[in-house]
Chains A and B, each alone.
Chain A
Amino acid sequence: NAGVTQTPKFRVLKTGQSMTLLCAQDMNHEYMYWYRQDPGMGLRLIHYSVGEGTTAKGEVPDGYNVSRLKKQNFLLGLESAAPSQTSVYFCASSYLGYSNQPQHFGDGTRLSIL
């Protein structure tokens, strides 16, 4: 019972490098979310998707891009990494966004930008 799987778990980048974080869920959920968690800031929504082929901006979308080519996968891309993007990134999924279904979270990706 995998649930939500994030890869990689850790990564260190240099400023200006690019990378993609992968989120995969095996629960057939429609909604998927990318958050970043920073000390004292809680979870802030970066981008989200309400279904295959759709994406939408969240609270802090700048510097990130996403794609949802397959229902089970939600990719988060950093085109040119900046030190301000050092954070722990969590992916989540839910059956529906506004229903009584809670979000299921992955274990997180700890990303450091030097």
Chain B
Amino acid sequence: AQSVSQHNHHVILSEAASLELGCNYSYGGTVNLFWYVQYPGQHLQLLLKYFSGDPLVKGIKGFEAEFIKSKFSFNLRKPSVQWSDTAEYFCAVNAGRDDKIIFGKGTRLHILP
């Protein structure tokens, strides 16, 4: 069965620091990959997605993620975080032609002003 692992459960950074959140999945075939963000008290919103083509995907608010097939990874990055990036971030994978998307357990990001 497919699964998603997010290695960092809680990350604390200062403003302007660089960010990288890890995400690994377990599935050997074709995958669709997503990063969602949940700001405090809000619902999940899509940050970016990868389906095919360029493995470096750019999303909203300056976020990007790189799909490395050989490592089964889809890490999220941002060169310089802002206080407003404080949120919980979820990696998700849709494998093959499954009807479901599997979410990771989330990484809670706290940015110090």
User: B49 — nearest CB in chain A belongs to which residue?
Assistant: A102
Q: A84 CB to closest chain B CB, in angstroms?
A: 18
B101 partner residues in chain A, CB cutoff 8 A = 97, 103
Q: A98-B96, A105-B43 are in contact. Are A43 and B103 (CB under 8 A)?
A: yes
Does B99 count as interface, using CB distance less than 8 angstroms?
A: yes
Does B46 count as interface, using CB distance less than 8 angstroms?
A: yes
Scan A3-26; emit 1 where CB is below 8 A from any B CB, else 0. Answer: 000000000000000000000000
* Contact surface of A with B, Cβ cutoff 8 Å: 31, 33, 35, 40-45, 48, 50, 56, 58, 90, 92, 97-100, 102-103, 105-108
User: B50 — nearest CB in chain A belongs to which residue?
Assistant: A100
B94 partner residues in chain A, CB cutoff 8 A = 97-98
A44 to B100 Cα, complex, angstroms: 11
A20 to B2 Cα, complex, angstroms: 30
Interface residues in B, total, Cβ within 8 A: 24
Q: Is the interface of B mostly helix, strand, loop or mixed?
A: loop
A97 to B9 Cα, complex, angstroms: 27
Partner among A58, A90, A100 whose Cβ is within 8 Å of the Cβ of B32: A100
Interface centre among B34, B44, B49, B90 (most CB of A within 10 A): B44
A31 partner residues in chain B, CB cutoff 8 A = 99
A5 to B105 Cα, complex, angstroms: 24
State whether B99 touches A107 (Cβ < 8 A): no
- Can you list 26 A-B pairs, Cβ within 8 angstroms, ordered by A? A31-B99, A33-B100, A35-B103, A42-B6, A43-B103, A43-B106, A44-B103, A48-B99, A58-B100, A90-B43, A97-B94, A97-B98, A97-B99, A97-B100, A97-B101, A98-B32, A98-B97, A98-B98, A100-B32, A100-B51, A102-B49, A103-B44, A103-B101, A105-B44, A107-B42, A107-B43
